[in-house]
Structure 1
């Protein structure tokens, strides 16, 4: 069986551009606010504008993505939790392929991917709002500026941890990484990890495991 198309070229471009801008935001934030890195790097006058511009550009790839029907279809998938997703979250053996109770049936995205997408989208909006208050402080009262700084700094830590976790899981799952880098996956990987999506694409049940 030939490889299955998973992500269009436009979807991959959106993901890669968003990831690049996120890396720039995180790296420049470390240079600005983490004292050991800030002291070693210096050049605050150069790094701060890069951080601000990268932050304002961060939502742009996803906004442009609305042009792509494939991207809009995947957003609808990401925005919908199914009974299989709740089971996926409860089960400790959801990735067990050795037999037993078997693998949890999920669609194109599992619950972890859906939660990561929701957190990332929400975090971008919150960071954009709080960053705007910090960048243009004059119109805002003192308590707004203080609150924005507090939320911005602590949410940065959360984003950094989630980003590293996302990268860790991507590197460990070669099939998922191939899907996002090449746009296609093997039928075996799809049947094992996203069996409902396998049926949706092929119109048939996954092949039986030995």
Structure 2
């Protein structure tokens, strides 16, 4: 079968070239993405079921309070499980080590955020920037507190009434704080499509990595480069 001269021209001009795998950098392993998705699903179930329990409008709309309570309790208890299972992954353990290191460049990043300086050179970051490190530390602590206070509220025989009353107070207000912080986290993710793509596919564009996480290579063990 033959084609007339110039027939391929318009099609070739409008069809974008396929992405070059060499222009992408591996960021997250499959295990890390599974941990993130599973934890996110459980936390969203916790937040949604809590909203149905505490907001009268949603409670009337959903009904089945006993079912909602059961979903809330078990999604809360299971929230730490994906992370604990993910500790079997060497990649996850390596990233936890990065998240736990806070250096001079992280303080510089926070100062730039405070001054609203958006220049990439003013916000040096390794694989994770200072904001991501603070968020990870805060949400990890919040999950532990919520699990502990939730257990006291669920199993009423574990502690005296005063303890359960205090646990309820802490649980309710911390739940509100978590909802606000999660909303901010999702807003930041929506504002950065490439960061979302990295969590979804495991890789990011090279130029994004170099502009947003210029010290990433230095964060890696030994002399391995950004391409590893």
- Report the TM-score when normalising by structure 2: 0.84
SS of residue paired to 2:128: coil
| Mapping of residues 88-103 of structure 1, within 5 Å | 88-91=109-112, 92-96=115-119, 102-103=121-122
Change (3 A) 1:76 1:200: closer
> Residue by residue, what CA displacement relative to the aligned partner does 1:115-145 show, whole Å, maximum 9, x if unpaired?
1111111111000000000001123111101
SS of residue paired to 1:67: coil
| Mapping of residues 1-210 of structure 1, within 5 Å | 1-91=22-112, 92-96=115-119, 102-198=121-217, 203=225
Q: Which has the larger radius of gyration?
A: 2
Kindly report the root-mean-square deviation, in angstroms, between the aligned alpha carbons of the 2 structures: 1.5
SS of residue paired to 1:108: coil
Q: Which runs of 5+ in 1 are unaligned?
A: 205-210
Deviation at 1:56, TM superposition (A): 0.6
User: What is the alpha-carbon distance in structure 2 between the residues aligned to residue 128 and residue 159 of structure 1?
Assistant: 13
Q: Which runs of 5+ in 2 are unaligned?
A: 1-21
User: What is the alpha-carbon distance in structure 2 between the residues aligned to residue 57 and residue 199 of structure 1?
Assistant: 35
Equivalent residue, structure 2, for 1:208 = none
Equivalent residue, structure 2, for 1:207 = none
Number of residue-to-residue matches in the alignment: 200
Deviating beyond 6 angstroms after TM superposition, the runs of 4 or more aligned structure 1 residues are: none
CA contact (8 A) 1:95 1:193 kept: no
